[in-house]
Amino acid sequence: MPDIKAQYRIILEGAGWVDRLGHGRLRLEGADVGVFLQALLSNDVTRVEPGHGVYATYLTPNGRMLADFEIVRRPDAWLLGLAAERARPIAERLDQSIFSEDVRVVDVTETLAEIVLVGGIATERLADALSMTSAELDTLGELGQRDYDEGFIARSGDAKLPMFTVVVPVARRGEVIARLEAAGVRSVSAALIETLRIDAGRPRFGADMTEETIPLEAGLLERAISTTKGCYVGQEIVIRILHRGGGRVVKRLVTLSFDEPQNGAPPSGTPLFDGGKNIGQLTSVSPSLTESHLIALGYVHRDLAEEGREVAIGDTDTRARVTGFAR
């Protein structure tokens, strides 16, 4: 296992890069893409100008998640980032939803390389590597972009440290990495990026969210859901929970902290208990970046979803403390 703490110490005052594995990309082209997506997704895409982006979920009529998207609007197309295993089925589903709209859906997962850069001075190192100014990158909001050669750079919010994703054609990957390393950016592990995500409380589809998840359970209200836009698939369920149920869902995704049990770190899916009653489960687990304990994301019953609450982990004597909420 890579020494995550050692890598974190390096990037804390520097920067590291890693290939963004397990990520897919769909390219949507045509004059009607904005209107098409507006009718399907949970967030308001009509306000997204070229060079900007928005996060959204794609739901079933029953309000369960089919996928979540990092949407970036490019001058000539819209790119939807999603879990790689969902790219093909979602591309097919979107294609089947096209009637008379001028929209074309292409899975470009295999043709694009994505390189994540993160660290205390990631902005400065990235600017040096790609011949930009730090100011050009500093002003970017999450999913905001700057053009780079045949691709672009997008700001990410999946870490507490500055984080960016460089998206280029696969043929340009080696050149970008060479530039980053020449600027002093170190190669780091995917495990570190995963730990940074968990530490930031960011859920990932396939780990913390599945096709049974209601986005409100995963803490996505502020980031992924517009409460003022017109109709979209699954809206009725979301609005019913917000307006009639006061936003109360059965379970909430929370961040947790606990000492490592004697038999090692518990795997995802390990049940959580309160007073002997099963009240949830762990979904993502990792060593802490700075301490000797473990950190995790997990679902707990809404009545126990409060900071400071302790719950028992599996059949161990270890108790986990709720430290916050996924976002």
- The span from the CA of 208 to the CA of 231, in Å, is 26
Of residues 14 and 247, more confidently modeled:
14
- The span from the CA of 131 to the CA of 177, in Å, is 14
In a shared domain, residues 85 and 189: yes
Q: Dump pLDDT digits (tens) for 181-218.
A: 999 999 999 999 999 999 999 999 999 999 999 999 99
296 lies in some domain? yes
In a shared domain, residues 41 and 125: yes
pLDDT at 243: 87
In a shared domain, residues 133 and 36: yes
Q: Dump pLDDT digits (tens) for 21-58.
A: 889 999 999 999 999 999 999 999 999 999 999 999 99
Query: Residue type at 54?
Result: V
- The CATH number of residue 120's host domain is 3.30.1360.120
DSSP string, 163-201: EEEEEEEGGGHHHHHHHHHHTTPEE--HHHHHHHHHHHT
pLDDT at 2: 72
In a shared domain, residues 37 and 179: yes
Question: Among the three residues 163, 183, 199, which one is the final residue of a domain in this structure?
Answer: 199
245 lies in some domain? no
pLDDT at 272: 98
In a shared domain, residues 195 and 255: no
212 lies in some domain? no
Query: Residue type at 266?
Result: P
Q: Domain total for the chain? A: 2
E strands within 20-132? 23-29, 53-59, 65-73, 78-83, 104-107, 112-118
- The span from the CA of 189 to the CA of 175, in Å, is 20
State the average pLDDT for the chain. 96
State how far the alpha carbon of 256 is from the alpha carbons of 237, 252, 306, in Å: 28, 12, 11
Q: Taking 70 as the threshold, does the pLDDT of residue 86 lie above it?
A: yes
Confidence of residue 233 (pLDDT cuts 50, 70, 90): very high
Question: Among the three residues 136, 165, 199, which one is the final residue of a domain in this structure?
Answer: 199
77 lies in some domain? yes
In a shared domain, residues 167 and 257: no
Q: Dump pLDDT digits (tens) for 132-174.
A: 999 999 999 999 999 999 999 999 999 999 999 999 999 999 9
192 lies in some domain? yes
Q: Taking 60 as the threshold, does the pLDDT of residue 1 lie above it?
A: no
Q: Dump pLDDT digits (tens) for 241-253.
A: 998 767 789 999 9
In a shared domain, residues 189 and 255: no
- The CATH number of residue 254's host domain is 2.40.30.110
235 lies in some domain? no
In a shared domain, residues 21 and 91: yes
205 lies in some domain? no
Percent of the chain with pLDDT over 90: 93
Q: Is 0.85 topped by the overall pTM?
A: yes
> What domain range is 320 assigned to?
250-325
- The span from the CA of 168 to the CA of 189, in Å, is 20
CB 201, CB 45: distance < 8 Å: no
Q: Taking 90 as the threshold, does the pLDDT of residue 238 lie above it?
A: yes
In a shared domain, residues 143 and 263: no
224 lies in some domain? no
In a shared domain, residues 188 and 278: no
